[in-house]
Structure 1
Amino acid sequence: MDKNKARVKKWLKVFQYLAGYLVAAWTFLQFVEWILDRYNISPYWVDIFLWFFVGIIPSLLIYLYHQDRINQRILKLREKIIFPLNLVLVFIGLYFGFGTSDLGATTKEVSYLDAMGELNETTVTKEEFRTQLPIFNFTNLTDDEELNWMGEGIAELLFYDLLQDKNITPDQNWAENTTDKVMESSFISDIYVDGEFEKKDGKFSITSSIRSSKNGAVINSKTFEGDDFLDLVDEISHFIKISVDIPETNKLQYIDLGIKEFVSTSVPAIKNFVRGNYEEATALDSTFALAYLRSSRRDITYSKGKIDEQALAEKAYRYRERLPYDMQMEAMANRYLAYDKFDEAKELVEMQLEISPQNRFLNNLLYGIHGETKDIEAYFDTAQKRFEASKSMYNIENMADASLVVGEYDRYIQMVDFYSKLNPRNNFIFPYKLVPELLKKDAEAAKETLKKTKLLHPGQDNINAAFDAAVTFLEKEETVDLNYFEGIYRSQLSEALVKFWIVEDRLLYHYSNQTIETTMPTGKTSLVVGMPNGFTGEYEFYSDKNGIAYGAKVTENYYNGGTNVYWIWKLDDSIRKAEEHLLNEDYDKAEVAYQEAITKNPNHFYLKNTLQHIQYVKSIDSLDLQKQFNDVVGLYSKEGVENTRKLFVKDGKLMYKREGIPSKQLLPISRNRYMNLNSLRLHFEFDYEDDEAVASYSLLYDAETDKWENYGPELNYLYKEKK
């Protein structure tokens, strides 16, 4: 009994010492946290000390219980083993838990260019210490569908506004229900933002909620009411910033421009901006720099036409001082891209990414530049660096694509399996295994994945059929000569160049200003690019009499069931030489060069049209040509057709413009027929009465029949408006 009492007394003493240890450790941690916060040092040190103090408790308990003996330096074998083993295990655990963490300062010095191109230095929060913040659309509580745009508008404006604060990395998302919001946000953050709004009696009421990404529960919420929609968004942005867990010393460190300052003061202009109607947005606000920038980026990404790409890029550059620093740099880099100055654009983008490494607009620019320069290693390194810092859906997709490009097929499959386990009920993840399985030539696995995809996604017949062909061809185990496909092709839809090139055993693909992709054979002379659950492009190549590919029929399949069919045409030195002479308006040399190009490329329909243009321009007096242009200048419209055709002369050139469609220079083939170098398959004709144009219509080239067709006289035949 006495021994039991002594043992209990001894344990009570041990727990008293342990309580004192915990109090002292907690006090020490509070002091360390204050020091770290005060001098902007990594907060991971608090966690390291915490787990160290907790980790050595087993050894501490043994020591406290036997301290009389141990203080006399009498240690038993078990203690000689447990004490060092405990420390080793603690240090190993800390290494694996924090070995890759930045344990230095939370800020760093970086260089940047201001709006005037002057080099400056500033201090920014390191990427690792920024708060990831997914933002979802706000819900419209009214029955007024005209207000639906505000749901996305609030989220988009908050996204742009919060981009200014380098303590936060906002990420705009489009999931609608709580389950999907939790699924998407839990990858990257502990919280996410959504909300709801309504308008009554001319007043807005917007409720913004900060929610847990674990279960969607509200952590903090506030309702904002007022007459001015844009001012309310600014207030919500401020509420989010003070609600997010940011070290006190970092708060309010960055310039915070108001929505009206860097976006627009016009709500109608912003409404069109959110809907992607950038042309209408800038018509309502001629200094809308962000709309010019987004419009130019869209035109460059899809190669809609150098005329508008450069004009819009110049507008964004002109009004760039209205924008925050990130967007100013983007506007400057975008201007270089509009003129194909990739090195200069890359230098600016990489510099700004030191400040804003997760800015997807800047990263898109960089990925596009890597594609233009075929730099697959830089593409992979950029994607990997972004992915390691943030597991956003945007970074996941880029990391996955980059893994395929460099041949890391198993890494891609592991990523799909990992995210499938995190979201076992999400049937949109597993189909992505199909592409790496095809590239690995694992026919059985690919066949099984495709079978399951068809079962769970029957509405994607057009996309599934493209992969059906790839699986069927793989099962035949036939070899494919990748050299057959290699080359640079010109799209007949736009000014885009499509590149195919070989790296080791892979045929890579790049569409102008977009990311690099991998291709999968569906036959000896056919390919497919793309992914399940999204988009595929089927390429059916055609050969000349020597068996050399001269072009391809492209069938694009979209998730909504839609398709788009067009052709791409292979370029060679003779075509490039001819185009250069035409660009320089050296018609004598151009005529000879195009005749040579036609001889070498007899299937390229547009070369013959271009030669007709050259010969016509050479045959007509310059004054007569200008008169011909002036005869067709004007607006062409028709009742029931919304967009009018506008034809005008600029710098002696006949230009065509229609709302929502890029500007085109029309090149005369004859008195009443014109071609353009923007969309090769599109021609324009005019009807005359008494030597004056009275109507216009367009023709589309059908490569299957080798004929030009009027694609819709009811909407296509427009009448010239009288002055």
Structure 2
Amino acid sequence: MADEGNNKEKKWQTVLKFLAAYLVAAWTFLQFVDWALLRYKISPYWVDMLLWVFIGIIPSLAIYLYNKDRINQKVLKLREKIIFPLNGLVVALVLFFGFGNSDLGSTTKEVSFTNDLGEIQTETITKQEFRVGVPIFNFQQSAKDSTSLWLGNTINKLLEIDLKQDKNISPEVSYAENTIDKIQASSVFNKFFVDGEYTVENGIYTITPTVHNSKNGKEIAKKTFTGPDFFALIDEISIYIKNNVGIVQEMQDRYIDLSIKEMTTSSMKALEAWAKRDYDEAVKIDSSFTLAYFYNAVRRNRYSHGELEEKYLIDKAYDLKNNLPIQSQFEILMYKHIIYNRWEDAEKLIGYQLEIEPNNEDYNRLLDIVYSETKNIDGHYQHALERFNQNKNEENARSYYTSLIFSGKFDDAINLIKAYELLSPDTEEIQRIKAYTYLSANKLEEAEKTYATMKLKWPEETIYQKTIDEYIAKLKTSQPNFDYDAYKGIYRTINSEQQIEYFQKDNSYFIHYKNQLMNRAFALNSDVLLSLDPGWVSGTKHNFQKDSLGNVYGVIVNQFNRNKTYDFYYYKETEEITNAYNLLKSHQFDNLEQTFEDLVTKYPNHWFLKDALKYVQYRKKQGNKALLKQYDKIAGTYGTRTFWVEKGKLFYKRDNLPKVEIFPIGENRYISLSKFETHYGFEENKDKKIASFSWSYHVANKEWIKAENNTNYILKN
């Protein structure tokens, strides 16, 4: 018995020695495989799979080593006949469920695109699945100083811009003040998050970034960077972050790494203006600040501030684009296509950008806008569905939900909301979205019940809720007979170049503000459409206006947010009105007087058409030489206003407002085609100095009001 015990002990010692040697050999092999995969850009999942295989077969390996003499003679006991295949099956199942949907091929892919010269180019990038996601939160001041407070939300933006050059990492600017919120915002889809502190003292910048584990907030790495060159510190911190989130040098070397100073500006004053979104001031300080022109163009375009200004800004950004990475250059070109209304080119280029960054919120939003401009509801749905299936994050869920509403797939939308309701049942936003979904599906009983519950939990009297109650009450008695054929079309506002288009698809009404995402609309009655924000207490009521003959000429848009309301006036813009104004803008005056005379007669409520006619008639009366002399007299600077002549045309710009061309309707009065409700006036005071002021049109009273207060009545410098 003693000999048998000793033999078993020796056997197990031998088994353990072999297992130890096996583990060492396996670990060495894994290190080699890891290096080889990195070297040849192959999926790192193979290392994980092999690790599970090496660990998973240990039970069978231990049994074999212990009984190898017998097993080598092909003598297997029943337990071994069961354990060996069962062990293999378990390992196979673990690999299937753990890695069945993983990409086991190359970590990179090639994307082809047409550059701005029309040439086909190919770029190799890291696939989204293999990039390291890193939310970067705002940095906090170590010592309170109001003069440098703006840096807190600027450091993270610059780090994002700098890190985006490296396609091994997916940085994202995020905002949260405490660790719990940071973990909640980053833990689901990311392994890390970054935040930090900073101080500025006597021109010396001290920045301390911290890399955290996103699952528990624990500190992984922390280092302080100090020096007088703020931009150089950003470059150093970017490399530090990459080094501490697993981006090894060989991976970093695949991509270009421009300095942040080269991509933005070398002026802290210009950077501060940019950070505060005062883009006009930023380019005054640094006329080569590409991103300031670009961000300003994007903002102007989104709200249709002025076509001239949008094109000027995007053209400036495009001319200066060579100081940016290739992807940023294509982003500028993408927006140029949008601003110039080249929608097909824009869609192609956005598709290329999304191949590089599939989860980029800005690019996905832009593609949704393209779908809105082209009324491609099916394309919007397919894109949103693919995004959601690939990555079920909050942004993709919102986009998918919106596409379901647009497509009339209300049951799917309700099921989607119920899934999120299980996670946050008492969230006001989710309950509002749920109620809105029932309303869209015409499930009035469920909608009314949900809204009633919300009133109890969040009791606040709002115009929003009163409007909804009115809508539900009317639907209970009868369906509104909305006159779609009379109201469809494009309407233009009087205080900017913004347009609204009303259209119908699959028996549903839609409202689309130019350069923004379309919205589903509800017919409140025969001449009113209602648009609601699903998750917030805001919306718009569109009251269509008819003349004495019953012809639709405009719409008054009541914009409401809780108990605040604002009214905006829009007028129907037919194709013949659009064509006439296009001729006016391009200074093609043949037969234009007769054209506007006919339009004034046909559309008597479009009071601004009379102004266009006055300009055409005044220009004809004066002639080019007299007009240029008139322009030269008033050209100059009036405080923050500037008027100048360029190629025989008169232009006006005020700080932080768009550039517009202005047209004379008299010796001292001018109009623009960007803001119909504003006239620009000039007069000499008693000291023979020229003053600039404005007139504003009061729609309700149908009168022009002269602005003569200190901020509007300004003498020429």
TM-score range normalised by the length of the shorter chain: 0.7 to 0.9
Q: Spell out, residue by residue over 1:158-192, the C-alpha distance to the aligned partner (whole angstroms, 9 max, x if none).
A: 11111101001111122223232222222321211
Cα offset, 1:667, TM superposition: 2.0
Aligned residue for 1:577?
Answer: 579
Change (3 A) 1:241 1:526: same
Cα offset, 1:469, TM superposition: 4.7
Aligned residue for 1:231?
Answer: 232
Aligned residue for 2:536?
Answer: 533
CA–CA separation in structure 1 for the residues paired with 2:19 and 2:551: 82
Q: Aligned to 1:674, which of 654, 670, 677?
A: 670
Aligned residue for 1:717?
Answer: 712
Letter in 1 for 2:205: F
Q: Spell out, residue by residue over 1:61-108, the C-alpha distance to the aligned partner (whole angstroms, 9 max, x if none).
A: 9999999799868887x9999987876676566445433322211011
CA contact (8 A) 1:587 1:618 kept: no
**3-state SS in 1 of match to 2:659:** strand
Change (3 A) 1:265 1:471: farther
Aligned residue for 1:655?
Answer: 651
Cα offset, 1:24, TM superposition: 6.9
Cα offset, 1:405, TM superposition: 2.4
Aligned residue for 2:521?
Answer: 519
Letter in 2 for 1:721: K
**3-state SS in 2 of match to 1:603:** coil
Cα offset, 1:496, TM superposition: 2.3
CA–CA separation in structure 2 for the residues paired with 1:438 and 1:510: 20
Mapping 1:268-417, distance limit 5 Å: 268-390=269-391, 393-417=394-418
Aligned residue for 2:642?
Answer: 646
Aligned residue for 2:682?
Answer: 686
**3-state SS in 1 of match to 2:235:** helix
Aligned residue for 2:555?
Answer: 552
CA–CA separation in structure 1 for the residues paired with 2:113 and 2:150: 35
Cα offset, 1:244, TM superposition: 0.9
Q: Spell out, residue by residue over 1:306-344, the C-alpha distance to the aligned partner (whole angstroms, 9 max, x if none).
A: 111111111111111111111111222333333222223
Q: Aligned to 1:623, which of 622, 625, 631?
A: 625
CA–CA separation in structure 2 for the residues paired with 1:301 and 1:679: 16
Change (3 A) 1:158 1:22: same
CA–CA separation in structure 2 for the residues paired with 1:10 and 1:474: 87
- Which moves more between the two structures, 78-87 or 172-181? 78-87
Change (3 A) 1:415 1:227: farther
Aligned residue for 1:42?
Answer: 43
The aligned length equals 712
CA–CA separation in structure 2 for the residues paired with 1:396 and 1:194: 27
Aligned residue for 2:545?
Answer: 542
Aligned residue for 2:181?
Answer: 180
Cα offset, 1:206, TM superposition: 1.1
* Alignment pair present for 1:254 and 2:255: yes
Change (3 A) 1:122 1:206: same
Letter in 2 for 1:269: A
CA–CA separation in structure 2 for the residues paired with 1:409 and 1:317: 43
**3-state SS in 2 of match to 1:255:** coil
Change (3 A) 1:424 1:443: closer
Q: Aligned to 2:703, which of 703, 707, 716?
A: 707
Query: Considering only aligned residues, what root-mean-square deviation do their CA atoms show, in Å?
Result: 3.8
Cα offset, 1:54, TM superposition: 6.2
Mapping 1:439-454, distance limit 5 Å: 439-451=440-452, 453=454
CA–CA separation in structure 2 for the residues paired with 1:466 and 1:237: 50
CA–CA separation in structure 2 for the residues paired with 1:480 and 1:360: 39
Aligned residue for 1:215?
Answer: 216
Change (3 A) 1:419 1:20: farther
CA–CA separation in structure 2 for the residues paired with 1:302 and 1:483: 26
* Percent identity of equivalent pairs: 37
Change (3 A) 1:69 1:259: closer
CA–CA separation in structure 2 for the residues paired with 1:223 and 1:595: 71
CA contact (8 A) 1:688 1:695 kept: yes
Task: Provide the TM-score with structure 2 as the length reference.
Answer: 0.87
**3-state SS in 2 of match to 1:666:** strand
Q: Spell out, residue by residue over 1:641-669, the C-alpha distance to the aligned partner (whole angstroms, 9 max, x if none).
A: xxx22222222222121000101111222
Cα offset, 1:552, TM superposition: 1.7
Letter in 1 for 2:712: Y
Cα offset, 1:273, TM superposition: 0.6
CA–CA separation in structure 2 for the residues paired with 1:79 and 1:544: 92
Cα offset, 1:389, TM superposition: 4.6
- Which moves more between the two structures, 431-440 or 261-270? 431-440
Change (3 A) 1:243 1:114: farther
**3-state SS in 2 of match to 1:354:** helix
**3-state SS in 1 of match to 2:658:** strand
Cα offset, 1:239, TM superposition: 0.8
Task: Provide the TM-score with structure 1 as the length reference.
Answer: 0.87
CA–CA separation in structure 1 for the residues paired with 2:89 and 2:523: 53
Mapping 1:59-208, distance limit 5 Å: 91=92, 94-112=95-113, 118-208=119-209
Change (3 A) 1:493 1:396: farther
**3-state SS in 2 of match to 1:617:** helix
Contiguous gaps of at least 5 residues in structure 2: none
CA–CA separation in structure 1 for the residues paired with 2:650 and 2:705: 23
Change (3 A) 1:584 1:320: closer
**3-state SS in 1 of match to 2:224:** strand
CA contact (8 A) 1:187 1:391 kept: no
Aligned residue for 1:33?
Answer: 34
Cα offset, 1:446, TM superposition: 2.9
Change (3 A) 1:34 1:308: same
Q: Spell out, residue by residue over 1:231-258, the C-alpha distance to the aligned partner (whole angstroms, 9 max, x if none).
A: 1111111111111123664233211111
